[in-house]
């Protein structure tokens, strides 16, 4: 599917949403289920897992049915804004409606499907010119590359200043304002706080007009162009600012330094190593310009809810992202679609069967929300959109349970907690697992994945979020999945371990029952709501 223009899946779903607004939520929901271009063969695959369970009698068979459907070629790799999205959300919405969930958007104008608008930006144009004493210094276009986070960025005749190993913390803002900071790639591993972002970003935040990286390390300009020419994504309401970065080959940098009388790269490198180093003007000015092409993508989060007896006491949120990459290979490859069976049809299957189990049980105290999020693979964007416009105030969500890439291991393994030590949930998770006679993997090695999943968005918003699964408990199996199938066409349904998934369903069910029970989990303090509750969160 081309990334240019209006994507057909987004249009079909938007039409269904418009119909729903016109004729009412309940009837229009069924029209939304029909407003799709799902072919007959795919439509026939939308069998209710309930009938499968009755026939075969196992949770594993229901999970397998979900994964085989969502990860089939007829779902086109579940790319946001395409027919694959329409088919995916139609299937999930039908399952959740049949289970007995209510719309969780709490928005009569957008029942079930919460719109999310993304922008895709791809580098388009690049220009770099340099001057010494008003004389232009000749450089080949093939030796420079300029990119911007905006649509068009231009910096004219700004002085170049070499900053050595320093980052913005060590450099006065006056040293950078109105100037282009120059860094050496060979020194880029010297960072004060790697977790805070890349070095160029920190210098830009400190006031540099732009950053030029001289590629004197292991990465060549071709590698940078290949990596930085990929599409970038953001929510449409995010202001991207138009930061500008440039990259120079060693040959180009040496030519500039010689023309400006600033010595050689070796001289700069030695100077930058000195303890008493201070930023050095290079006697060269630069004009940098970059442009990007922007495409808007209309996509959706799917939100359902099981109503609790005392919704004023907060909510528990289960999350699994529905999106994947669509077509990710080209001929002559035989299989062109990234089906995303483990990542993350498995998570969707798990939270759907958790919803089924909870809906059949006694009513819980707290509301339970279910979020099938879009844009996770593009940067956790659907979760961000949810957090920015939540259907329930974030400070009323007592816990978030994310399910992502389960089905890697068979049944019987211990459980890992991604987010361990980062929330107030650890002792409660341990209590639930002990009652289930499930072991927890010691240590926090699984936290290596904490920033790579939707739960991280909620942690950043001070909402306790974890992933609890056995899928991350066997390093050998996990590494093999990452090496062989992760984000590849090989991630298909027949390689999924459904026994491990079934155990994850049971774990999520018991965690939700515990966290939604006021007698067992009071939760963090909640705001006082019209005198209905106290600040402790108890009624």
pLDDT computed for residue 194 by the predictor: 39
pLDDT computed for residue 346 by the predictor: 98
Cα–Cα dist 169/478, whole Å? 38
Between 83-99 and 59-70, two packed helices, what is the crossing angle to 10 degrees? 160
In 367-519, where do the E strands start and end? 367-373, 397-402, 416-418, 465-469
Q: What is the mean pLDDT of residues 364-392?
A: 98
pLDDT computed for residue 496 by the predictor: 97
pLDDT computed for residue 528 by the predictor: 58
pLDDT computed for residue 445 by the predictor: 93
pLDDT computed for residue 524 by the predictor: 83
What DSSP string runs through 99-120?
HTPEE-S--GGGSSEEEEEEEE
Q: How confident is the model at residue 277 (pLDDT cuts 50, 70, 90)?
A: confident
pLDDT, tens digit, for every residue of 423-433? 999 999 999 99
pLDDT at 406 over 60: yes
Which of 172, 131, 158, 156 has its CA nearest to residue 279?
A: 172
pLDDT, tens digit, for every residue of 140-157? 889 999 999 889 999 999
Q: What is the mean pLDDT of residues 346-361?
A: 98
Phi, psi for 133 (deg, rounded to 5): 50, 45
pLDDT computed for residue 276 by the predictor: 82
Q: How confident is the model at residue 54 (pLDDT cuts 50, 70, 90)?
A: very low
Bridging pattern class, strands 244-248 and 152-162: unpaired
pLDDT at 491 over 60: yes
- Report cis status (omega within 30 of 0) of the bond before 232: no
Cα–Cα dist 111/304, whole Å? 9
Between 83-99 and 25-34, two packed helices, what is the crossing angle to 10 degrees? 130
pLDDT computed for residue 171 by the predictor: 60
348: three-class secondary structure by DSSP: helix
What DSSP string runs through 160-228?
EEE-TT--TTTS-HHHHBTSEEEEEGGGTT--S-GGG--HHHHHHHTTBSEEEEE--SS--HHHHHHHH
List the beta bridge partners of residue 114: 301
CA atoms in the 13 A half-sphere facing the CB of 324: 34
pLDDT, tens digit, for every residue of 68-103? 999 999 999 999 999 999 999 999 999 999 999 999
What DSSP string runs through 260-322?
HT---HHHHHHHHHSTT---EEEEEEEEEEEEEEEEEEEEEEEEEEE--S-GGG-EEEEEEE-
Q: What is the mean pLDDT of residues 360-385?
A: 97
Q: Note the Cα 35 to chain centre separation in Å.
A: 28
Which of 466, 468, 470, 467 has its CA nearest to residue 497?
A: 470
CA atoms in the 13 A half-sphere facing the CB of 513: 19
pLDDT at 359 over 50: yes
Q: Looking at 140-144, 295-299, 378-382, which range is the least confident one?
A: 140-144
Q: How confident is the model at residue 28 (pLDDT cuts 50, 70, 90)?
A: very low
- Where is mean pLDDT largest: 49-53, 330-334, 422-426? 422-426
pLDDT at 532 over 60: no
The predicted model scores a pTM of 0.81
Which of 405, 435, 430 has its CA nearest to residue 415?
A: 430
Percent of the chain with pLDDT over 90: 70
pLDDT at 498 over 70: yes
SS3 of 58-91: the string is CHHHHHHHHHHHHCCHHHCCCCCCCHHHHHHHHH
CB atoms within 10 A of CB 10: 24
Which of 316, 319, 487 has its CA nearest to residue 396?
A: 316
pLDDT computed for residue 41 by the predictor: 34
Q: How confident is the model at residue 536 (pLDDT cuts 50, 70, 90)?
A: very low
* Structural contact between residues 100 and 299, judged by C-beta atoms closer than 8 angstroms: no
Ramachandran sector of residue 514 (left: φ over 0; alpha: ψ -120 to 50; beta: rest): alpha
List the beta bridge partners of residue 367: 315
Q: Note the Cα 404 to chain centre separation in Å.
A: 11
pLDDT, tens digit, for every residue of 97-137? 999 999 999 999 999 999 999 999 999 999 999 999 889 99
Question: Per the structure block, which two tokens stand in for 138?
Answer: 């000749």
pLDDT at 207 over 70: yes
pLDDT at 530 over 50: no
Query: What integer best gives the mean pLDDT of the chain?
Result: 86
Length of the chain in terms of residues written = 539
CA distances in angstroms from 165 to 121, 190, 205, 279, listed in the order given: 31, 6, 16, 10
pLDDT computed for residue 172 by the predictor: 65
């Amino acid at each position: 599917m081309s990334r240019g223009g209006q994507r057909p899946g987004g249009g079909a779903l938007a039409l269904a949403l418009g119909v729903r607004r016109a004729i009412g939520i309940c009837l229009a929901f069924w029209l939304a289920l029909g407003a799709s271009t799902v072919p007959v063969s795919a439509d026939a695959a939308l069998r209710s897992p309930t009938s499968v369970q009755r026939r075969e009698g196992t949770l594993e068979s229901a999970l397998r049915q979900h994964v085989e459907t969502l990860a089939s070629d007829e779902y086109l790799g579940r790319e946001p804004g395409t027919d694959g999205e329409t088919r995916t959300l139609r299937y999930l919405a039908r399952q959740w409606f049949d289970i007995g969930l209510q719309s969780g958007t709490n928005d009569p104008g957008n029942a079930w499907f919460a719109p999310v608008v993304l922008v895709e930006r791809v580098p388009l144009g690049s220009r770099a010119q340099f001057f010494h004493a008003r004389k232009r210094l000749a450089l080949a276009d093939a030796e420079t590359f300029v990119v911007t986070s905006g649509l068009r960025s231009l910096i004219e005749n700004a002085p170049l200043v070499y900053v050595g190993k320093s980052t913005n913390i060590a450099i006065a803002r006056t040293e950078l304002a109105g100037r282009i900071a120059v860094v050496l790639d060979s020194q880029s591993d010297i960072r004060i706080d790697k977790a805070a972002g890349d070095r160029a970003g920190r210098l830009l935040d400190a006031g540099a007009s732009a950053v030029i990286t001289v590629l004197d390390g292991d990465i060549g300009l071709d590698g940078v162009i290949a990596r930085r020419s990929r599409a970038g994504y953001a929510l449409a309401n995010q202001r991207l600012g138009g930061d500008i970065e440039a990259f120079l080959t060693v040959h180009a940098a040496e030519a500039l330094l010689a023309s400006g009388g600033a010595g050689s790269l070796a001289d700069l490198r030695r100077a930058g190593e000195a303890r008493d180093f201070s930023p050095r003007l290079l006697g060269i000015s630069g004009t940098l310009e970059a442009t990007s092409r922007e495409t808007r993508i209309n996509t959706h989060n799917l939100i359902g809810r099981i109503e609790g007896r005392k919704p004023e006491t907060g909510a528990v949120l289960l999350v699994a992202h529905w999106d994947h990459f669509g077509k990710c290979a080209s001929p002559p490859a035989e299989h062109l679609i990234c089906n995303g069976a483990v990542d993350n049809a498995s998570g969707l299957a798990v939270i759907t069967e958790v919803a089924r189990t909870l809906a059949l049980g006694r009513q819980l105290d707290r509301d339970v929300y279910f979020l099938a999020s879009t844009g996770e693979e593009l940067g956790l964007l659907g979760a961000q959109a949810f957090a920015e416009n939540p259907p329930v105030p974030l400070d009323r969500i007592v816990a978030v349970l994310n399910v992502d890439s389960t089905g890697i291991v068979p049944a019987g393994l211990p459980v890992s907690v991604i987010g361990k030590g980062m929330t107030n949930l650890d002792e409660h998770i341990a209590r639930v697992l002990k009652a289930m006679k499930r072991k927890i993997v010691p240590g926090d090695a699984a936290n290596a994945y904490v920033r790579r999943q939707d739960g991280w968005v909620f942690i950043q918003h001070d909402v306790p979020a974890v992933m609890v699964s056995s899928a991350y408990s066997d390093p050998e199996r996990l590494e093999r999945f990452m090496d062989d199938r992760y984000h590849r066409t090989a991630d298909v349904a027949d390689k999924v371990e459904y026994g491990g998934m079934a155990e994850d369903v049971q774990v999520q069910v018991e965690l939700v029952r515990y966290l939604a029970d006021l007698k067992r989990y009071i939760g963090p303090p909640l705001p006082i709501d019209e005198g209905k509750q106290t600040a402790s969160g108890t009624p």
